[in-house]
Structure 1
Amino acid sequence: MSQASNFVKKLASNDKPTRDAALESLKKFLISKSASSSSSSKTKTFTISLLDAEKLWKGLYYSMWFCDRPKAQERLAENLGRLYSENIKSDDVFLRFVEAFNLIMTKQWSDIDQWRIDKYYLLIRRVLRHNFKYLKSHDWDEPLVRDWVDVMSRTLLSGDAKVPVALPYHLCDIYLDELQLVMFEELAEEEAELDKEDPKYLQKYETLLRQKIAIVEGVPVLKLIEPFSVLNKEAKLKPLREKCKEDVLDDERLVDWAVVGDDSDSDVDGEGDNGSAEQDDEEEEEEEWKGF
């Protein structure tokens, strides 16, 4: 704990060289802790407690706080995201660090002023991206994905009143964008070369789409979007329920990737049967109405 506290002081320093040096030390620290955790994985011994992980993210939170220029903020957000995909080598440490970040964002969000809010939105985006990169690097291992989804469902996507609504709203906005970027990273160059003016555009597009569908077959997309399905049914705020449905569950990309069919509501959010029943009722009412 004293080592974590020492990191926090340096990461939260208003002196940039001190913060940069502390971040480099933290990278080595995480690698060493991850390695020792991996070697003792049979006993599930966590080499970083949740409290210590929160302390570290509290320091990283202030490291972002003191970062002023847009380019520097973008670099720092990317470097902090890479802690997950490049410096953590253990699933246990990864999950602890994910939970710690989510808890710190929840606790500190109300303190962020209007001039700093955008860089924290960027930080959340980059952390999510590198969370997906970690899952991808482990071949979207089913137990790992399940545990990660559980962490998200207990924290930022819990629907709890303690979680500022801006956080799940932001995740609705970016979730499929970041998942798409990571899943199809190898196809980015081919997609960038698509030109609608090309006579063979349609053929190339269809070939690319088939490649995407083949990739998605190995990704548990339905499991990854499960928290939004739960929020769509159980969130207390109607706008949040609607946003989960409109921005995630009803996104046309899920149809394009063959994750769901065209009548996707029944597959994703469990409301398809009710929807069809309501439609049948409306049709019956229209047939029985004798006005005009």
Structure 2
Amino acid sequence: MTADPQNSPFIKHLASSDKLIRDSALDSLRTYLSGRSEISEIDLLKLWKGLFYCMWMQDKPLHQQHLARDLASLVEVLQQPVVLPFLDSFWKTIAREWGGIEALRMDKYLFLIRQYLNASFRYLSRQNWNNEAAIEQYAEILEETPLNVLDVKIPNGLRYHVLDIYIDELEKVGAEKLECIPLEKLLEPVRRLEGESKVKSVRNAAKETLDDDRLKAWRGEEVHKEMREGGSEDDEWGGIDD
């Protein structure tokens, strides 16, 4: 990048209320990203700072959801060597900026995180879950930032949210090929939190994720009767609909 990416016109235009301007900016960003086989970490972090504040400026709920989905779709146009560094920069940006997100703006970032966790799993699934190196690297990215065990700079609110949506998004992506999913490898960051976090509420949240009846069903284990009958799904709010 020859210019500061967070100040690029097409980044700023992503927050436009005019759909034509917004779509044109997204096309420009896709073209830019798809043409690069390598982007430095500092440039990716600058880019994500711009994208973070682009989302910050988007006020209308419907436009917020569209923008979140559009930003998550960028993963699909990236050349393979850029995908994991791009995702790593996303998580680092969210963790860094989390403390400054106002309550009225939090929902759109929670939705963006959901979209990005989903996009991450879709990236792994497009390789039929066979790319062991990518799976290992992504697990390390999760362990380093959103599901970090010990780093006090990582906000617990981010940990809780990722734990809360983890199985939901994995199910959406992998439900049709459960036998292909490297389930235990993908659950390693969650297990580390359960076993090593110094915060009891984080350990409990991780345990709740690992005790999800869907995981037991995927492994062929016995599950609660109400889960088999589908009776428990209406008893609690399932988060923001996609």
Instruction: Please report the TM-score for the alignment, with normalisation by the length of structure 2.
Output: 0.84
1:150-229 alignment to 2 at 5 Å? 150-159=140-149, 160-184=151-175, 215-229=177-191
SS at match of 2:104: coil
Residue 34 (structure 2) pairs with residue 31 (structure 1): yes
Deviation at 1:253, TM superposition (A): 0.8
- How far apart, in 1, do the equivalents of 2:119 and 2:95 lie? 19
Mean Cα deviation higher: 19-28 or 99-108: 19-28
1:163-198 residue CA offsets vs partner (Å, 9 max, x unmatched): 1111110011101000000112x5xxxxxxxxxxxx
Residue 128 (structure 2) pairs with residue 139 (structure 1): yes
Identity %, equivalent residues? 38
SS at match of 1:183: helix
Q: Tell me which residue corresponds to 1:106.
A: 95
Q: Does structure 2 conserve the Cα–Cα contact (< 8 Å) formed by 1:8 and 1:60?
A: no
Deviation at 1:2, TM superposition (A): 2.6
Length, aligned pairs only: 217
Question: Which structure 1 segments of 5+ residues have no match?
Answer: 38-46, 187-214, 264-292
Which structure has the larger Rg over C-alpha atoms? Answer: 1
- How far apart, in 1, do the equivalents of 2:25 and 2:99 lie? 26
Residue 24 (structure 2) pairs with residue 63 (structure 1): no
- 1:167 is aligned with what amino acid? L
SS at match of 2:103: coil
Q: Does structure 1 conserve the Cα–Cα contact (< 8 Å) formed by 2:6 and 2:48?
A: no
Q: Does structure 1 conserve the Cα–Cα contact (< 8 Å) formed by 2:34 and 2:79?
A: yes
- How far apart, in 2, do the equivalents of 1:30 and 1:243 lie? 36
- How far apart, in 2, do the equivalents of 1:95 and 1:54 lie? 13
Q: Tell me which residue corresponds to 2:78.
A: 88
1:115-153 residue CA offsets vs partner (Å, 9 max, x unmatched): 100000000000111111111001112111111111111
What RMSD, in angstroms, separates the aligned Cα atoms of the two structures? Answer: 1.9
- How far apart, in 2, do the equivalents of 1:250 and 1:6 lie? 42
SS at match of 1:108: helix
SS at match of 1:116: helix
- How far apart, in 2, do the equivalents of 1:148 and 1:251 lie? 22
Mean Cα deviation higher: 9-18 or 93-102: 9-18
Q: Tell me which residue corresponds to 1:79.
A: 70
SS at match of 2:110: helix
Deviation at 1:12, TM superposition (A): 3.7
Deviation at 1:26, TM superposition (A): 1.3
Instruction: Please report the TM-score for the alignment, with normalisation by the length of structure 1.
Output: 0.70
- How far apart, in 2, do the equivalents of 1:242 and 1:6 lie? 40
SS at match of 2:93: helix
Question: Which structure 2 segments of 5+ residues have no match?
Answer: 224-242
Deviation at 1:242, TM superposition (A): 0.6
Query: Which aligned runs of 4 or more in structure 1 are off by greater than 4 angstroms?
Result: 13-20
Change (3 A) 1:49 1:69: same
- How far apart, in 1, do the equivalents of 2:62 and 2:132 lie? 37
- How far apart, in 1, do the equivalents of 2:30 and 2:50 lie? 14
Deviation at 1:89, TM superposition (A): 2.8
